[in-house]
Amino acid sequence: MKAVFLDSQTFSSHISFSTIKKQVTTLTCYSTTLSEHIIERCAEAELIITNKVVLTEDILVQLPTLKLICISATGYNNVDINAADKLNIAVTNVAGYAGNSVAQYVLAQMLEYYQQISHYNSITEQGHWQQTETFCYHGNAITELAGKTLGIVGYGNLGQSVAKLAQAFGMKILISERINADNIRQGRVSFEELISKADIVSLHCPQTINTENLINAKTLSKMKATTMLINTARGALINSIDLLTALKEKQLAYAVLDVLEQEPPPADHPLLIARQEKGLDNLKITAHIAWASSEAQQRLINLLSENIAAFKRGENLNRL
């Protein structure tokens, strides 16, 4: 199979593609690909690998040799699945590779906030500890995670991995039922109950019609003023303007965002502007890296190669 990877730059340079290369005749990698270059680059491809490059019906109908699309991610909204099915093009995705990485990120952010590590490091760098008359210097309050209530919205592999680590710290876990669900399953609570009781709300649900703008002025108003909000799922789950207002008015204690509605975000994104220019100190934004431990990236590539191998054997592994 002739394979083309349209956006290999979504992986770190030290990640090996050797398992993929073993499954194909040739593998041509492009760091990024604009939509107007897809047809030219994939004219003879039997396999396309894409992370975020969009493959529409108009594009797919112009690729007669294409047999398989491997999405190097869990989300698949960048590929027209129905068009691919009509054209007899198989489509696969990958899942279950980033649980450890995302859980580690979420717990690291909680520990940073409640333990105030950067604050106390800064105190020492500024010489305050050296000048005190006692053996320690008390700055911002340090709070234990034990006994805190963590509300998890989206309880798949990622949410479960976060819960496992949180339980090791002695935290209480609330699991949200699906939004607008008619019945509450055993072991879960309604989303409304979760956001009103949780000390930390961690988002791990997919972006759907029901979850877009899930966190908005109304839901933020129901959270405790001491709540910490963490989003490692999709940026569109949160209304950025409503969040900014809540943070400015101290209606919400702290927010950590690893995702935004547009990625990469525009330089004038209101949350970035507020963080950079106006000193909004209760907001932290990272560059969609919660999933991206070296181990998780390599697991993803290896899972993707297994999808290719299964396709060659006539099997439907991770087929969408």
Pick the catalytic residue: 178, 188, 288, 299?
Answer: 288
Residue 256 CB-density burial (10 A; 0-12 exposed, 13-18 middle, 19+ buried): buried
CA distance 289 to 232: 9
Q: Using CA atoms, how far apart are residues 216 and 55, in angstroms rounded to an integer?
A: 31
Instruction: Please report, to the nearest 10 degrees, the dihedral formed by the alpha carbons of residues 207, 52, 317, 99 taken in order.
Output: -60
Is the separation of the CB atoms in 271 and 257 below 8 Å? yes
Q: Which of 44, 263, 295, 315 is catalytic?
A: 263
Q: In this structure, what token pair is assigned to residue 9? A: 């730059």
SS3 label, residue 256: strand
Given a contact cutoff of 8 angstroms between Cβ atoms, the answer to whether 147 and 171 are in contact is yes
E runs forming strands in 133-279: 149-153, 172-175, 200-203, 228-231, 254-257
CA distance 249 to 254: 11
173-208 exposure pattern, b = at least 16 Cβ within 10 A, e = fewer: bbbbbbeeeeeeeeebbbbebbbebbbbbbbbbebe
Q: Which of 204, 234, 269, 275 is catalytic?
A: 234
| Contact present, 199 and 69 (Cβ < 8 Å) | no
Element (H, E) at 48: strand 47-50
Residue 234 appears among annotated catalytic residues: yes
Active-site residue list: 234, 263, 288
